[in-house]
Structure 1
Amino acid sequence: MSTLLAELGKHLAGRWAALLLLPGAFYVCAVTAAVVLGHAHALDPAVPAAWLDRVALAPASGRFGTVLIAAAAFTAVAAVAGLAASAVAQGVEWVWWSSGEEPVLRRLAARRARRWERAEDAVRAALREFTRSGAAPREAAALRAAILRRDAICPEPAARATWIGDRLHAVDQRVHDTYHLDLTAAWPRLWLMLPDGARAELAAARAGVGAAARLLAWGLLYAPLALLWWPAAVLAAGVLLTARRRARAAVAVQADLIEAAVDLYGREMVLLLGVDCPGRLTREAGDTATSLLRKDRTDRSRLQG
Structure 2
Amino acid sequence: MNAFLAELGKQLVTRWTVALMLPGALFAAAVVLAHVLGQGHAVDLAALPAWLDRVTATPAGGRGATLLITVAAFLLGAAAAGLVAQSVGVFVAWTWSLTGSAPVLRGIAGRRRRRWERADAEAADAEREFLADTADPARRARSRRAIARRAAICLVEPERPTWTGDRLHAADVRVHRSYGIDLAPVWPRLWLVLPEEVRGELTAVQDRCTAAARLAGWGILYAVLGAFWWPALVVGVAILLTARYRSRLAVAVYADLVEAAVDLYGRELAVRLGLTCPGRLTGEVGEQISVIVRKDGTVPRARRVGSAPQPRA
Question: Counterpart of 1:279 in structure 2: which amino acid?
Answer: G
Rounded Cα–Cα distance in structure 2 between residues aligned with 1:82 and 1:164 = 24
- Which residue of the partner structure matches residue 5 of structure 1? 5
Measured at CA, do residues 60 and 186 of structure 1 come closer, stay the same or move farther in structure 2, by a change above 3 Å? same
- Which residue of the partner structure matches residue 123 of structure 1? 123
Q: RCO (CA 8 Å, sep 6+): is it higher in 1 or 2?
A: 2
- Which residue of the partner structure matches residue 161 of structure 1? 161
Between 63-72 and 141-150, the greater mean CA deviation after superposition: 63-72
Rounded Cα–Cα distance in structure 1 between residues aligned with 2:31 and 2:5 = 37
Equivalent pair of 1:61/1:67 in contact (CA under 8 Å): no
Provide the aligned C-alpha RMSD in A: 1.8
Equivalent pair of 1:154/1:163 in contact (CA under 8 Å): yes
Q: Classify the secondary structure of the residue corresponding to 1:59.
A: coil
Equivalent pair of 2:213/2:243 in contact (CA under 8 Å): yes
- Which residue of the partner structure matches residue 311 of structure 2? none
- Which residue of the partner structure matches residue 207 of structure 1? 207
More helix by share: 1
Instruction: After TM superposition, give the deviation of residue 57 of structure 1 in Å.
Output: 2.8
Question: Counterpart of 2:264 in structure 1: which amino acid?
Answer: L
Instruction: After TM superposition, give the deviation of residue 67 of structure 1 in Å.
Output: 2.8
Matches within 5 A, 1:1-305: 1-60=1-60, 62-133=62-133, 135-298=135-298
Q: Where in structure 2 are there 5+ consecutive unaligned residues?
A: 300-313
Rounded Cα–Cα distance in structure 2 between residues aligned with 1:12 and 1:123 = 49
Equivalent pair of 2:58/2:66 in contact (CA under 8 Å): no
Instruction: After TM superposition, give the deviation of residue 217 of structure 1 in Å.
Output: 0.8
Deviations 1:11-52 (A, max 9, x none): 222222122222111111111112211233222221112212
Equivalent pair of 1:171/1:259 in contact (CA under 8 Å): yes
Equivalent pair of 2:56/2:67 in contact (CA under 8 Å): no
Instruction: After TM superposition, give the deviation of residue 61 of structure 1 in Å.
Output: 7.9
Give aligned-pair identity as a percent: 54
Q: Where in structure 1 are there 5+ consecutive unaligned residues?
A: 300-305
Rounded Cα–Cα distance in structure 1 between residues aligned with 2:122 and 2:298 = 42
Runs of 4+ in 1 over 4 A off after TM superposition: 132-135
Instruction: After TM superposition, give the deviation of residue 192 of structure 1 in Å.
Output: 0.7
Measured at CA, do residues 253 and 55 of structure 1 come closer, stay the same or move farther in structure 2, by a change above 3 Å? same
Rounded Cα–Cα distance in structure 2 between residues aligned with 1:134 and 1:291 = 44
Equivalent pair of 2:226/2:233 in contact (CA under 8 Å): yes
Measured at CA, do residues 237 and 61 of structure 1 come closer, stay the same or move farther in structure 2, by a change above 3 Å? farther
Instruction: After TM superposition, give the deviation of residue 205 of structure 1 in Å.
Output: 0.2
Equivalent pair of 1:55/1:61 in contact (CA under 8 Å): no
Count of residues paired in the alignment: 299
Question: Counterpart of 1:250 in structure 2: which amino acid?
Answer: A
Q: Classify the secondary structure of the residue corresponding to 1:60.
A: coil
Instruction: After TM superposition, give the deviation of residue 132 of structure 1 in Å.
Output: 4.2
- TM-score, length basis structure 2: 0.90
Question: Counterpart of 1:94 in structure 2: which amino acid?
Answer: W
Instruction: After TM superposition, give the deviation of residue 4 of structure 1 in Å.
Output: 3.2
Rounded Cα–Cα distance in structure 2 between residues aligned with 1:132 and 1:12 = 61
Rounded Cα–Cα distance in structure 2 between residues aligned with 1:49 and 1:104 = 49
- TM-score, length basis structure 1: 0.92
Question: Counterpart of 1:287 in structure 2: which amino acid?
Answer: E
- Which residue of the partner structure matches residue 302 of structure 1? none
